[in-house]
Structure 1
Amino acid sequence: MKQGEEISLLGFLAIPLKRKRGVLLLPFIAAVVALSVTLMTPNMYTATARLLPPQEPAAGVQNIVSHGGGTMYSLVGGKSMADVYVGILESRTVADDIIGKFGLKQSYGASTMADAYRELAARTRVNISPKTQIISISVEEHDPEKAAAIANAYVDALDRINRSLNITEGQRKRLFLEGRLRNVERDLAAAESELKDFQQKYGLVALEEQARSIVESAAKIRAEIIAAETELEVLKQFRTDRQNETIMLRTRIAELGNQLALAETGKNGKGAAKTADLKEEPFAFSFQKIPELSMQLGRLTREAKVQEKVFELLTSQYELAKIEEAKDMNTIQILDQAVPPDRKSRPKRMMIVGLSAVSTLILAVLWAFFSEYLTFMKIREPKTYDQFVRYAKSWRG
């Protein structure tokens, strides 16, 4: 390095040293002020509760009677259940519950509920992990115990609301099937009693094998018709707009009706001996070919079998509906309950003091160079200096 460059560099370093008192004093004052402010600022503590990602509804049980309004999942247009949970947690209903339970309107010094909502939202964070879909509920408060209590209250509110919605749907399914099952049970008892009375009156116990086969086939068809009609009734009962399913069910009922008519009269619903869809006669002979008493016995036996099969079908559906309702009882899976944090989350005093001192030191060094430049300009270029002073005074007003 040349001598001129060395002198220039030494002169450059000498500038802040000439004003070292100000350069060192200003960062010290800034650090003291920052420390004082942070010491006066109340500590904030953050408590976090975590929930496992919710399981999406299974298709099996839903398909039985989900035509009746479906679960809450069907009401949100196929969105992720985690997104639904976040929506519930951020809802006004949950906020009202939290604010009322902990008296947050008074704690926040809010004059209106809108102010309380904003303050609670500012102190609450609800996040979904992109990788694991785990839901985190973080609440920031001056009291660590209160922060944990509020975070856990969010979980309780979510569980209560979600459970009430799901139970409502589960109960509607179960209650509908309960009523239908009671009616079928009465019909079954009446059919069995009528069959017993007829057999006792005429001394008829069994039909011929071919007649029995027709009776059983017709009973099965009739049971399928009633089951399909029940499913169609469910669709109408809960006012869903599943048009395709409704059309398919009505078509199925019509086809089964033709088969039943063929078994009973030897003709399908349109009066032909065979339909275009049937390539061969499914029944050897019809009820009309059975002697009068045997035919009446067959009809009574068929009715009893129909009611028995319908009863079995509805019983299985009813049991599945009860299982679905029981599953809805425990809707939230808690991974971590919120616990009172033992360390504050803010203010971060050391970081604030350090940033204040460093930034002020940089400004102080710049001030030293600027002051040195003004001194140089005052001696070497007085006109420029005077012009600068005038501009500075005019800018101050």
Structure 2
Amino acid sequence: MERAGTAERERENLEHANQAPESLPRESLAGGEDQIDLFDLLLVLSAARRKIAIFTLTAMALGAALALLMKPTFSASALILPPNQGQSSASMLMNQLGIGGLAGGAVKSPSDLYLGILGSRTIADDIIAKFHLDREYKTKKLSDTRARLMKATAMVVSKDSLIHITVEDHDPRRASDLANAYIDELYAMNSHLAITEAAQRRVFFDQELADEKNALAAAEVDLRKTAEKTGVIQLSAQSEEIIRSIADVRAEIASREVQLQSLRTFATDQNPDTVRIQEEINTLRSQLAVLEKDPRNVQSTTTDFQAGRVPEVSLEYARKLREVRYHESLFDLLSKQYEAARIDEAKAAPIIQVIDRAVPPDKKSSPHRLFLTLGFAVFGLFLGFASTLVSATWRRMEQVPEYALKLARLRSGFPLGR
């Protein structure tokens, strides 16, 4: 009899142990007990293993279906090498003008500069118009199309200063065409932008040369009108020599001032070339002052001509002639500087070197179906755990009178029909 009673009790204990609770123990909610036994949690989760499995499998199926329905995305990459900024290559020609020591290097990081150009709105708009991306992206506003293109494009500078251009698209051919279009647009923009130091000087001297050409033409017109009015066609050789000397010095001063202005676009006032040119300007101004006041004090002049001895009828003509000689000398100096900058700019080409042009990719870059499916499965697993624990806690709270009353009030305060 004792053996039978003992066996019966062991069988009941075993059955009781196999029956996992559907809710958390009451002690975890009552009397300030905040700790929950890990073993009790495992029992609750074990009892709801079917529910958790359903959550996991359902989420996995949704992830697999989503991975199959999503359009594949292809990534095409291009690789370019930006130029290294160098010094002037026409130093011999510039030395005779007094600026042979100009240092290049206006751009400290060519890679960062070209990266900024590639991300410009102008290049993006040109690519959008070329490929009709508003229709491909189904966008109505240009700003939205531009944002979609920027989102699909990645541009980075590697440690070796190479620029990587990567474009993602659902069409592999269009992805490679878009990546190559960035290179083509960069070439086009680089052809008319003054990026290098030589190009900056060329643009600057080009503008100065155009202005001086107009000034020379205006001075020649004034001289012709004065000659017609006064009847003075030619001065003495001595007067011509002094006028030309004064005009040459004035032209040298103006030329140095133009050089100084160009240099200050990328150099400070403490730059050795800036200081040197400024000293040359001061010296030339002193020579001009001496020459204009008393030509006999100039070592290069042996004449004893005095401006006061010029006949009154010739004075106006002499002034106009001096202006013409001045603009002629200045135009000649600016032409040499412009040619020096143009030669330097030409020698800098080719500026951009393409290492790898983009080709249509043969494999998709996304979506990763396996990762997406596993991610949804993990999400479903945690969702099943959370749902099970919330349900178990809710049922246990209903068994505690204090919490049951609060839950009843909560339900009455939020009826579904209200």
Q: Does the residue aligned with 1:343 lie in a helix, a strand or coil?
A: coil
For residue 135 of structure 2, the aligned residue among 106, 118, 136 is 106
Distance 1:114 1:33 in 2: 34
Equivalenced residues, count: 308
Q: Which residue matches 2:109?
A: 80
For residue 136 of structure 1, the aligned residue among 164, 179, 182 is 164
The reply on whether 1:248 has 2:276 as its aligned counterpart is no
TM-score, with structure 1 as normaliser: 0.61
CA shift digits 1:68-119 (9 cap, x unpaired): xx99985xxx563333322222222111110011110111111121221121
Q: Does the residue aligned with 2:351 lie in a helix, a strand or coil?
A: coil
Distance 1:122 1:343 in 2: 20
Q: What are the ranges of 5 or more consecutive residues in structure 2 without an aligned counterpart?
A: 1-12, 18-36, 217-244, 304-329
Asked if 2 retains the 8 angstrom alpha-carbon contact of 1:374 and 1:385, the reply is no
Distance 2:148 2:98 in 1: 40
Structure 1 pair 73–128 and aligned structure 2 pair: CA distance change class (3 A): same
Q: Which residue matches 1:92?
A: 121
CA shift digits 1:107-166 (9 cap, x unpaired): 11111212211211221222233x333322221111111111101111111121112224
Distance 2:160 2:255 in 1: 38
CA shift digits 1:189-233 (9 cap, x unpaired): xxxxxxxxxxxxxxxxxxxxxxxxxxxxxxxx99x9699457337
CA RMSD of aligned residues (A): 4.8
The reply on whether 1:27 has 2:51 as its aligned counterpart is no
For residue 385 of structure 1, the aligned residue among 404, 410, 415 is 404
Asked if 2 retains the 8 angstrom alpha-carbon contact of 1:95 and 1:117, the reply is yes
Distance 1:9 1:117 in 2: 54
The reply on whether 1:341 has 2:370 as its aligned counterpart is no
Asked if 2 retains the 8 angstrom alpha-carbon contact of 1:26 and 1:361, the reply is yes
Distance 1:247 1:258 in 2: 17
Distance 2:98 2:78 in 1: 33
Asked if 1 retains the 8 angstrom alpha-carbon contact of 2:88 and 2:103, the reply is no
Q: Which residue matches 2:344?
A: 324
Asked if 2 retains the 8 angstrom alpha-carbon contact of 1:43 and 1:346, the reply is yes
Q: Which residue matches 1:116?
A: 145
Identity of aligned residues (%): 28
Distance 1:28 1:228 in 2: 87
Distance 2:353 2:122 in 1: 21
Distance 1:174 1:114 in 2: 36
Asked if 1 retains the 8 angstrom alpha-carbon contact of 2:88 and 2:104, the reply is no
Distance 1:82 1:385 in 2: 69
Distance 2:85 2:182 in 1: 21
Structure 1 pair 321–227 and aligned structure 2 pair: CA distance change class (3 A): farther
User: What residue identity is the alignment partner of 2:410?
Assistant: Y
Q: Which residue matches 1:18?
A: 47
Distance 1:141 1:37 in 2: 19
The equivalences for 1:255-266 within 5 A come to none
User: What residue identity is the alignment partner of 1:374?
Assistant: W
Asked if 1 retains the 8 angstrom alpha-carbon contact of 2:79 and 2:357, the reply is yes
The reply on whether 1:363 has 2:387 as its aligned counterpart is no
Structure 1 pair 175–113 and aligned structure 2 pair: CA distance change class (3 A): closer
The reply on whether 1:232 has 2:256 as its aligned counterpart is yes
Structure 1 pair 72–316 and aligned structure 2 pair: CA distance change class (3 A): closer
Distance 2:363 2:137 in 1: 22
Structure 1 pair 383–355 and aligned structure 2 pair: CA distance change class (3 A): same
Q: CA deviation at 1:12?
A: 3.6
Asked if 1 retains the 8 angstrom alpha-carbon contact of 2:76 and 2:179, the reply is yes
For residue 67 of structure 2, the aligned residue among 25, 38, 42 is 38
User: What residue identity is the alignment partner of 2:391?
Assistant: S
CA shift digits 1:344-380 (9 cap, x unpaired): 22222222221221122122123223323333444x4
Distance 1:161 1:100 in 2: 16
Q: Does the residue aligned with 1:138 lie in a helix, a strand or coil?
A: strand
User: What residue identity is the alignment partner of 2:146?
Assistant: Y
Distance 1:240 1:317 in 2: 16
Structure 1 pair 236–113 and aligned structure 2 pair: CA distance change class (3 A): same
Q: What are the ranges of 5 or more consecutive residues in structure 1 without an aligned counterpart?
A: 184-220, 269-281, 289-309
